Amino acid sequence: MARSRSAAKTADDQEVERRPSLVDDAYAAMKRAIQDSSFAPGYQASEQEIALRLGMSRTPVHEAVIRLQEDGLVRVLPRRGVLICALAPEDMREIYDVIIAIEGRAAELLAALPKAERMSVAAELAGFTETMAKAWTEGDLPTWGQADASFHRTLVEGAENGRMTRILQTINDQSHRARMLTLKLRRELGASVAEHRAIIDAIRQGDPATAQACVHDHRVRARDELLPLLESFGLKHL
């Protein structure tokens, strides 16, 4: 029996070697399940159980779990399986500290780019902002959330600092559940459109100091709105 299990594992390993995308598929599937709370905070299971739920083999799930632990989304508990990490309001406070610092610096870098480059990025940012404005008018919160996430991702990616981009991706993966859960509770979503337009104007004008200040004020307001919501609704873990 042990020999049979070893042979099966070797075959599975070989399959992963032939199709590296299997690990990427498992990683993406697990991340989606965590973000939409199919794998809710506090959920604990063996890698085999997770593989069965995802309809995948265990080896790519194992590799995906290692990556997700590096992202801070899961914890591997020796002999007890995999635990989906929860977020507390204090975690969100720390996350916003990082977001405020990195996005502010990204805005400075964008505003300091040559005119043609910064205008190109500003046009992308403007497109996402107008999508947000339309979605807000129509009450389409999922589209609003997607466009808002794209705006902030493009803001950082446009600065062309790979380390900043990687850090923000990890932070955003961790905070996604809290943002989506509280989207319907927040009352100032419309203010984000005006604040985004102010950020875009500063980038277009090549004004790094104003761009940084606009991002700082925008993110501080969002933080100061979100954290009391989490606390007032008794959302101790997300």
Where does the chain hold its CATH 1.20.120.530 domain(s)? 89-232
Q: CA 20, 26, 32: angle at the middle one, nearest 5? A: 140
Range 89-232 classified under CATH 3.60.140.10: no
**How far, in Å, CA of 24 to CA of 10, rounded?**
19
**How far, in Å, CA of 9 to CA of 16, rounded?**
11
Q: Which of 12, 81, 75 is nearest to 47 (CA)?
A: 81
**How far, in Å, CA of 16 to CA of 206, rounded?**
48
Secondary structure in 3-state letters for the chain? CHHHHHHHHHHHHHHHHHCCHHHHHHHHHHHHHHHCCCCCCCCEECHHHHHHHHCCCHHHHHHHHHHHHHCCCEEEECCCEEEECCCCHHHHHHHHHHHHHHHHHHHHHHHCCCHHHHHHHHHHHHHHHHHHHHHHHHCCHHHHHHHHHHHHHHHHHCCCCHHHHHHHHHHHHHHHHHHHHHCCCCCCHHHHHHHHHHHHHHHHCCCHHHHHHHHHHHHHHHHHHHHHHHHHCCCCCC
**How far, in Å, CA of 75 to CA of 90, rounded?**
19
**How far, in Å, CA of 77 to CA of 57, rounded?**
20
CATH architecture of 2-84: Orthogonal Bundle (1.10)
Q: Which of 82, 101, 221, 238 is nearest to 174 (CA)?
A: 238
Predicted confidence at residue 176, as pLDDT, reads 72
Predicted confidence at residue 146, as pLDDT, reads 87
In single-letter form, the type of residue at position 204 comes to R
Q: Which of 67, 78, 59, 71 is nearest to 18 (CA)?
A: 59
Its pTM stands at 0.71
For residues 127 and 134, the answer to whether their CB atoms sit within 8 Å is no
> At residue 45, what are phi and psi to the nearest 5 degrees?
-160, 160
Predicted confidence at residue 13, as pLDDT, reads 56
Kindly give the confidence (pLDDT) of every residue in the chain, 238 residues in length, as a single tens digit, with 9 standing for 90 and above. Answer: 444 545 555 555 555 455 568 999 999 999 888 877 788 778 899 999 999 999 999 999 999 999 998 887 889 998 899 998 877 778 888 889 999 999 999 999 999 999 999 999 999 999 999 999 999 899 888 898 889 989 999 999 999 999 999 988 888 877 776 666 666 666 667 789 999 999 999 999 999 999 999 999 999 998 898 888 777 655 555 5
Which residue is it, tokens 């205008």? 119
Where does the chain hold its CATH 1.10.10.10 domain(s)? 2-84
